[in-house]
């Protein structure tokens, strides 16, 4: 449809597409839409240096210098069909690859593994009333999921160069072409949370699932935002700290099943874990939509119960690299397996 002129979110579209040259936008197409409920940080902010000189009874003209980085945030309900959101996640993880067809069906398995560096950046564009805002280059920095009202939600963040509303690359024709992937909701009741000792020769997915009432998975790469001579916006950000991957679990009450975690925390006993969601809907005959996040090694950083009328309990764990690949897993760093109908590499 034509670029919307009203303020209603229901009429807006947004999308992202992998780019190759920092500061140069690429045109979005049909497969690049991202379904969202909220976008934050999509604004232009420029440094202003006031002209507070001597012998000036009233402030004279100041100077506009660099554009501040665009710290973009996109949030919404998570779907097993990730669409363009899968591109953000794959770029953040660093490695994807062509998916594997499951049998002779319409289901495909994607594996996103953690690389030393992120895999690049993308162009982002969104419709606003009477305008199209574009950020030519955005480096993914964060991806997190949690449960809200029984639905799994996501929060994706990135750092971009500049926000503009006069793009010659992404105009009404490109935004009109956007087509969302099928929305296959991810529900908390479809989840299972597994945890056991990192050094145990037991596949964590064969253990009894934990009884959980909430969780939070956070994946983050910290980046800088430097300005260089010759450009009003930031140069391509580089990672400036160790990555951070964490898992938080909430239990409905303190019980014998989770009472031992405090001792494991005190002893520094490493754990391994898997967070798995499986839909009752099939991506292909005999193959269900699923998303599994594997944590080959975790350390418990907090295991304290909350002393309330009902004594509840929670865990906070931080991911580390395992010295060797644990039993039942395929890597020493966190990785993600997804089964859906997308036939192409998320980084293609």
**Which residue is it, tokens 């979110």?**
9
Half-sphere exposure of 28 (CA within 13 A, CB side): 35
Q: What angle do CA 219, 220, 221 make, to 5 degrees?
A: 140
Q: What does the pLDDT look like over 238-286, one tens digit per residue? A: 999 999 999 999 988 777 666 678 778 878 899 999 999 999 999 999 9
In degrees to the nearest 10, what's the CA dihedral of 121, 75, 193, 334?
A: 10
Per-residue confidence band for 40, with pLDDT thresholds at 50, 70 and 90: very high
**Contact at 8 Å (CB) between 203 and 328?**
yes
Overall domain count for the chain: 1
pLDDT at 127: 94
Neighbours of 331 (CB within 10 A): 16
In angstroms, what CA-CA distances link 75 with 37, 103, 243, 310, 316? 6, 34, 21, 32, 23
Whether 185 is covered by a domain: the verdict is: yes
Total residues found in the chain within this entry:
348
DSSP state of 83: T
Q: Is residue 68 scored above 90 in pLDDT?
A: yes
pLDDT at 50: 93
Higher pLDDT, 313 or 216: 216
Q: Is residue 308 scored above 80 in pLDDT?
A: no
Give the mean pLDDT of 320-329: 97
pLDDT at 104: 96
pLDDT at 303: 83
Q: Is residue 141 scored above 90 in pLDDT?
A: yes
pLDDT at 266: 78
Whether 293 is covered by a domain: the verdict is: yes
Q: Is residue 312 scored above 90 in pLDDT?
A: no
pLDDT at 2: 60
Cross-strand pairs, 75: 38, 155
Whether 346 is covered by a domain: the verdict is: no
Query: Where is average pLDDT lowest: 21-30, 281-290, 295-304?
Result: 295-304
Mean pLDDT over each residue of the chain, to the nearest integer: 93
Per-residue confidence band for 12, with pLDDT thresholds at 50, 70 and 90: confident
Q: Is residue 1 scored above 60 in pLDDT?
A: no
End-to-end alpha-carbon separation of the chain, Å? 27
Whether 30 is covered by a domain: the verdict is: yes
Q: Is residue 318 scored above 80 in pLDDT?
A: yes
Whether 229 is covered by a domain: the verdict is: yes
Q: What does the pLDDT look like over 181-231, one tens digit per residue? A: 999 999 999 999 999 999 999 999 999 999 999 999 999 999 999 999 999
Whether 4 is covered by a domain: the verdict is: no
Whether 265 is covered by a domain: the verdict is: yes
Range of the domain at 18: 9-56+65-340
Q: What does the pLDDT look like over 96-134, one tens digit per residue? A: 999 999 999 999 999 999 999 999 999 999 998 889 999
Per-residue confidence band for 7, with pLDDT thresholds at 50, 70 and 90: confident
pTM higher than 0.85 for the full model? yes
Whether 345 is covered by a domain: the verdict is: no
pLDDT at 229: 94
Half-sphere exposure of 215 (CA within 13 A, CB side): 28
Tell how far CA 4 is from the center of its chain.
Answer: 28
Contacts with 257 (C-beta within 8 Å, 6 or more apart), sequence order:
210, 211
Query: Where is average pLDDT lowest: 3-12, 48-57, 82-91?
Result: 3-12
């Amino acid at each position: 449809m034509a670029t919307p002129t009203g303020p209603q979110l229901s009429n807006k579209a947004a999308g992202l597409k992998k780019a190759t040259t920092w500061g140069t936008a690429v045109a979005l197409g049909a497969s690049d839409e991202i379904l969202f409920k909220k976008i934050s940080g999509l604004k232009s902010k420029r440094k202003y240096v006031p002209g507070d000189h001597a012998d000036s009874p009233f402030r004279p003209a100041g100077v506009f210098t660099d554009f501040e980085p665009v710290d973009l945030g996109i949030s919404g309900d998570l779907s097993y069909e990730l669409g363009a959101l899968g591109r953000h996640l794959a770029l953040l993880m660093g490695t994807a690859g062509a998916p594997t067809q499951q049998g002779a069906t319409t289901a495909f398995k994607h594996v996103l593994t953690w690389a030393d560096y992120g895999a690049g950046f993308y162009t982002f564009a969104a419709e606003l009333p009477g305008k199209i805002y574009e950020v030519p280059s955005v480096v993914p920095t964060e991806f997190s999921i949690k449960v809200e009202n029984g639905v799994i939600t996501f929060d994706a963040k990135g750092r971009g160069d500049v926000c503009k509303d006069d793009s010659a690359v992404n105009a009404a024709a490109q935004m009109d072409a956007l087509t969302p992937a099928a929305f296959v909701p991810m529900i908390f009741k479809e989840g299972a949370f597994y945890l056991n000792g990192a050094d145990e020769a037991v596949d964590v997915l064969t253990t009894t699932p934990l009884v959980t009432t909430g969780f939070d998975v956070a994946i983050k790469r910290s980046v800088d935002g430097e300005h260089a001579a010759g450009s009003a916006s930031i140069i391509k950000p580089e990672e400036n700290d160790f990555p951070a991957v964490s898992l938080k679990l909430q239990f409905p009450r303190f019980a014998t099943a989770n009472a031992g975690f405090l001792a494991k925390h005190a002893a520094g006993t490493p754990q391994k874990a898997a967070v798995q969601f499986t839909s009752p809907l099939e991506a292909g005959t005999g193959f269900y939509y699923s998303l599994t996040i594997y944590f080959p090694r975790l350390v418990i950083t907090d295991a304290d119960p909350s002393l309330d009328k009902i004594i509840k309990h929670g865990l906070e764990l931080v991911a580390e690299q395992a010295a060797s690949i644990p039993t039942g897993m395929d890597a020493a760093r966190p990785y993600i397996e997804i089964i859906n109908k997308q036939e192409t590499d998320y980084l293609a």
